[in-house]
Amino acid sequence: MRSTCFLACVCLLGCTSRQVAPLRYAPVAGAQDELFRATPPPRPHVAEILDAPSQTWTLPNGFRAMLVERHDYPMVAVRLLVDRGAIDLDDPGALQVTETMHLYQRGGTDAAFEALRAEAARTGARFVNGTRYDAVWAGFVAPQEALESSLDALKRQTFDADLGVVEYDRRSAAWEQVARAGSVSLAAAERWVLFGDQNPYGFVGPGRDMIPMKVAQSIHARLFRPAHATLVVVGDVALDRLTASVDRVFGPLARSAGLPRRAESPPAHIGPRVSVLSARGLTQMHGMVFARGPVPSSDDMLALSLAARLLGTGFSSVLFEQIREESGAAYLVGEWTSADRTASWVSFGASYDADKAVDGIGIILAAVRELRAGHVTEEQIAVAREASVAEWRAEMATLNGAAELYASSVALGLDPNWPRSFPERVASLGRDDLVRVANRYLTDRALHVVFQGDDRWLDTDRLGMGGAARLELESK
């Protein structure tokens, strides 16, 4: 009896412990040192690989096309950009256009569309789409031999999309699921503070009510006109082949007048300096410092991006060093610069240990002040430049990444070849540029703070920015 019991105990213990190899705790002789390891390898100059300049043309109906030829991989990346968005529309439904158009773009329910889509899947095309405040886009990455059939599918998906009742109801169901979640993102709260809820940039959340079908159809009809569209193609296709394809697919679209394209920046909106989105289910406290930036076509834009990177992005940034490495207060630390045609904004922040969030925000505010005061070294700037160009290289190394950069330039109203000149532009920026933009856009008066988390942990008075407003942002 006793022995049975003992065996049962052993089995129980043995059976509940995971069967893994034991670790080697015995002392191990240190690895033999080799003197050459003590010195980092040299960093030779990098010869950047630049695309040939893009080739652009316009069809009689106003449809524009742009090709960047690359023949080292047999695929193509395509973006069809409609350079009008919520910021160009005035009617009540416009506030939802950025949230609804991506649903709408998936197309109607007609059998022909589904069949075309299946054909695209068979050929290997991967379709993508999205919305910005200033534009709506769709596109694909496909084997080069599938270019023509994929362009057909792209046109059906965009210009020919026909939102029927069944499809609308199906989309409404998905919409309702998101709306019922009732959560407002930190980024949405930032935009609400900076732009107010009467501006498309400040639109919060998905909305309780789906945009009416007729309004969605009306917005679609006004946005999807050839005069608003630019097709950006990067990859393994020659000009004559693409020209023929574009003529065939998009040439028959009827010409119609374009909507005016807004250029003026939204007026300043005075939102609370410090805000709190209460979310007591979170163990972490998300905290951001944010401010408006210049219009993206300004020369200041790239300088502000580089200054923001120096502060918040990458392993060498001030915030990574001070918030993550020195205090261990966060894992996710970063800077996010957002730019649409008429506005930009920059955010610095982290997801903190809840009790370290206010101190973490204090570190960000202090780092911004240091930059404004010119306390930045040439070495810091050099690394920020290097990291910035490295990110550009990573994007440009893929057809899809390059198409994204070229299309973004078009959406922002920049020179379409802007991505080619990126390394040169970054190299031209110096300390004075960074300090100047910090003093122009990141002043104490311009900076706002928002927290999201269990607000019982927060003592925002320590920031010295006044009382915190509790945001009760319901989706409109």
* Span 150-209, contacts to another protein by CB under 8 A: 169-170, 173-174, 176-178, 180-182
CA distance 54 to 65: 10
How many angstroms separate the CA atoms of 402 and 346, rounded? Answer: 23
149 binds another protein (CB under 8 A): no
> Is residue 8 part of the contact set for another protein (CB under 8 A)?
no
Give 3 or 19: the residue with its C-beta nearer to another protein. 19
DSSP class of 462: G
> Binding segment for another protein among 52-60, 141-149, 208-216, 289-297 (CB under 8 A)?
141-149
Side chain identity, residue 261:
R
Site for another protein in 107-126 (CB under 8 A): 114, 117-118, 120-126
| Contacts to another protein from residues 390-429, by CB under 8 A | 390-391, 393-394, 396-399
Measured distance CA(454)–CA(355) in Å, rounded: 10
Among 1, 2, 3, 21, the residue binding another protein under the rule CB under 8 A is 21
Contact (Cβ atoms closer than 8 angstroms) between residue 217 and residue 385: no
Residues contacting another protein: total by CB under 8 A: 89
Among 1, 4, 30, 456, binds another protein (CB under 8 A): 30
When asked if residue 145 is in the footprint of another protein (CB under 8 A), the reply is: yes
From CA 181, how far away is CA 183, in angstroms rounded? 6
CA–CA dist 427, 209 (Å, integer): 48
Q: Which of 128, 187, 383, 414 binds another protein (CB under 8 A)?
A: 383
Beta strands (DSSP E) in 132-182 are 136-143
Among 99, 340, 353, 404, binds another protein (CB under 8 A): 353
**Cβ 317 to another protein shortest distance, Å:** 9
Interface residue with another protein among 2, 3, 5, 14 (CB under 8 A) is: 14
Work out whether 106 is an interface residue with another protein (CB under 8 A).
no
Residue 171, phi then psi, degrees to nearest 5: -65, -35
Pick 239 or 394: Cβ nearer another protein? 394
3-state helix, strand, coil in the chain (%, to 5): 45, 20, 35
The CA distance from 59 to 48, in Å, is 34
Are 148 and 97 in contact by the 8 Å Cβ rule? The answer is no
Strands (E), 170-273: 229-235
429: phi then psi, degrees, rounded to nearest 5:
-85, 135
Q: Minimum Å distance from CB 351 to another protein?
A: 5
Exactly one of 2, 16, 240, 456 binds another protein (CB under 8 A); which one?
A: 16
- In the DSSP assignment, the letter for residue 17 is S
> What residues numbered 237-276 form the site for another protein, per CB under 8 A?
none
Residue 37 interacting with another protein (CB under 8 A): yes
Stretch that binds another protein, among 58-66, 68-76, 248-256, 466-474 (CB under 8 A): 68-76
Residue closer to another protein by CB (options 15, 257) is 15
Integer Cα distance of 130 and 236 in angstroms: 24
List C-alpha distances in Å: 304 to 40, 41, 398: 31, 32, 26
Residues 313-352 that bind another protein (CB under 8 A): 314-316, 324-325, 328-332, 351-352
CB 319 within 8 A of CB 350: yes
Q: Which of 2, 3, 5, 31 binds another protein (CB under 8 A)?
A: 31
Tokens of 235: 């990859």
Judged by CB, which is closer to another protein: 147, or 463?
A: 147
Site string for another protein, 455-474 (x = CB under 8 A): --------------------
